Structure 1
């Protein structure tokens, strides 16, 4: 017996509901995501540093170590507009991700109602492959989003070429594939995907079984899986911090600069800054000196620990842990419902 085909009205209604849900979700999550990115990108060294001539150069950037402290700081210096920095790249990323998911998974999802993951992607290897492909497709969106959040310049919503001129160096605009060669960024993303999409998926298939006669043992295994998701913050949170710091480093091909340094003079940008509007004389966050960038994944982790302390690798760790708990509960929904 064939399923009843949805009418045009039902399709439009479902589309409107999805669009409204997406808008509501973005309105709530963009300020929180922007705050998290700023907190993890903020350069907050513990001691003094030396300049190019060997003289002592005290750090003058903001010292903000808490999520809500950063949220208040953004609101005070950049206002509500600053809280919604990165809106356009986030919307574009969400739309492209939705279209990609529907195009790749739509038919399989429709043929297997009630399943969170279609058969073509289910399992550790399928999830790993899907995660790696998605990462390669959407890495440029993530880089643009992080840079849009951390830039001090106002980015018009409907002037993409102007915004790209601010966010990307001339080298990156001519050779956009260089975004993939940002030292350490691709490695950090791959390690995180292997851990979350492969190892955790394998554990999920073992520890979140289908309900059977031994419901007590199933409950114990499900509790263990929640514990694994919580403990995973030890691995995932540092990778998220490192990814954030590496993503905002712009690639430059000038021979007198390192290949990952930011533009020496901001590419002659003459744009309006948020501090000009609010009257504040300070930036929301501080960044590493453009002539002393991170050179890779290991170098980034080592310098963070040496300069900012190991606690910097676990900024807003509780948000990562909360995400793991929600993921574990979502994986156990079929078990709970049954």
Structure 2
């Protein structure tokens, strides 16, 4: 049975309200994790040591204040349109094809098909959503002010000529698929089974409800430890995924398609690593971040990943 007219009617307003709060928070997170802050000295064209002169942003909230100071309230909503389009498309698909009377008033869950089935389903959804994620991350971190309704102009800024001619090449971004697959694999093959084992749901609860049987405090404590360890594993993958997603493919150091096609009108809030020395893979990304910025850079906003794990443990 498909959704009612009222559910379709209130879909856009409800999305607008939720994105009003979500987009600024997620945008600042992307900027903070993408911000390049080398801890050492660089060399100029003559080989002399030059100290780093870019912005030093040490926390999530420092990045939030910096965005407000430089770009104002509007800067917090970079990436709004691709986020809205993605959320609207997914919501329409769920309402049209996956909604049923027994699941009303409850969030849609992936089909129950065992651990392997859930893993394959999650990989498929990741592959479908990856282009949208790349475009959203680049829209958030670009120094240019993109028009809300100028799709072609925005794509000329966010994608290189090579990526526009061969859109599938974004799947070949060095290390990006590896980081995404590792993230999905850990969540579906390790974290989710441990959740079902240590914090099981009541299989006899009624439709649209979530109930827990009597849970051992020891098991709950063990699962909280699992969530903490998971945050330590997943946060570096999320940081590297952000860095790799905004790394443009086959953009020549001598030809910057962004600067030649669109004039910038805002100071760059998040300093990005130069495309002249791109990350060549997931391992290279990790090593380079540690060597140039320190181990702590891999754990930027770790508490957000931890908080998400704790919330999902009780959801």
State the TM-score, normalized to the length of structure 1: 0.83
Of 58, 66, 88, the match for 1:65: 58
Which residue in the other structure is 2:210 paired with?
none
Which residue in the other structure is 2:218 paired with?
220
Matched-pair contact (CA < 8 Å) for 1:82–1:274: no
Given the superposition, is the C-alpha separation of residues 78 and 233 from structure 1 closer, same or farther in structure 2, using an over 3 Å criterion? same
Given the superposition, is the C-alpha separation of residues 102 and 241 from structure 1 closer, same or farther in structure 2, using an over 3 Å criterion? same
Given the superposition, is the C-alpha separation of residues 26 and 243 from structure 1 closer, same or farther in structure 2, using an over 3 Å criterion? same
Please state how far the C-alpha of 1:194 moved relative to its aligned partner: 0.3
Cα distance in 1, alignment partners of residues 200 and 257 from structure 2 = 57
Given the superposition, is the C-alpha separation of residues 54 and 226 from structure 1 closer, same or farther in structure 2, using an over 3 Å criterion? same
Matched-pair contact (CA < 8 Å) for 2:157–2:257: no
Which residue in the other structure is 2:289 paired with?
304
Which residue in the other structure is 1:268 paired with?
260
Cα distance in 2, alignment partners of residues 21 and 113 from structure 1 = 16
Q: Residues 1-338 of structure 1 correspond to what in structure 2 (within 5 A)? A: 11-51=4-44, 54-102=47-95, 105-106=98-99, 110=101, 120-210=111-201, 218-252=216-250, 257=252, 263-264=255-256, 266=258, 268-275=260-267, 283-330=268-315
Task: Describe the SS at the equivalent of 2:4.
Answer: helix
Please state how far the C-alpha of 1:65 moved relative to its aligned partner: 1.4
Cα distance in 1, alignment partners of residues 214 and 52 from structure 2 = 56
Given the superposition, is the C-alpha separation of residues 110 and 198 from structure 1 closer, same or farther in structure 2, using an over 3 Å criterion? farther
Please state how far the C-alpha of 1:198 moved relative to its aligned partner: 2.1
Matched-pair contact (CA < 8 Å) for 2:39–2:294: yes
Given the superposition, is the C-alpha separation of residues 207 and 82 from structure 1 closer, same or farther in structure 2, using an over 3 Å criterion? same
Cα distance in 1, alignment partners of residues 150 and 123 from structure 2 = 31
Cα distance in 2, alignment partners of residues 34 and 216 from structure 1 = 39
Root-mean-square deviation (CA, aligned residues, Å) is 2.6
Given the superposition, is the C-alpha separation of residues 53 and 178 from structure 1 closer, same or farther in structure 2, using an over 3 Å criterion? farther
Task: Describe the SS at the equivalent of 1:274.
Answer: coil
Please state how far the C-alpha of 1:265 moved relative to its aligned partner: 5.5
Given the superposition, is the C-alpha separation of residues 160 and 317 from structure 1 closer, same or farther in structure 2, using an over 3 Å criterion? same
Please state how far the C-alpha of 1:55 moved relative to its aligned partner: 3.4
Matched-pair contact (CA < 8 Å) for 1:237–1:320: yes
Aligned residues: 307
Bigger radius of gyration:
1
Cα distance in 1, alignment partners of residues 167 and 195 from structure 2 = 37
Cα distance in 1, alignment partners of residues 263 and 172 from structure 2 = 28
Please state how far the C-alpha of 1:11 moved relative to its aligned partner: 1.9
Give ranges in structure 1 of 5+ residues lacking alignment: 276-282, 331-338
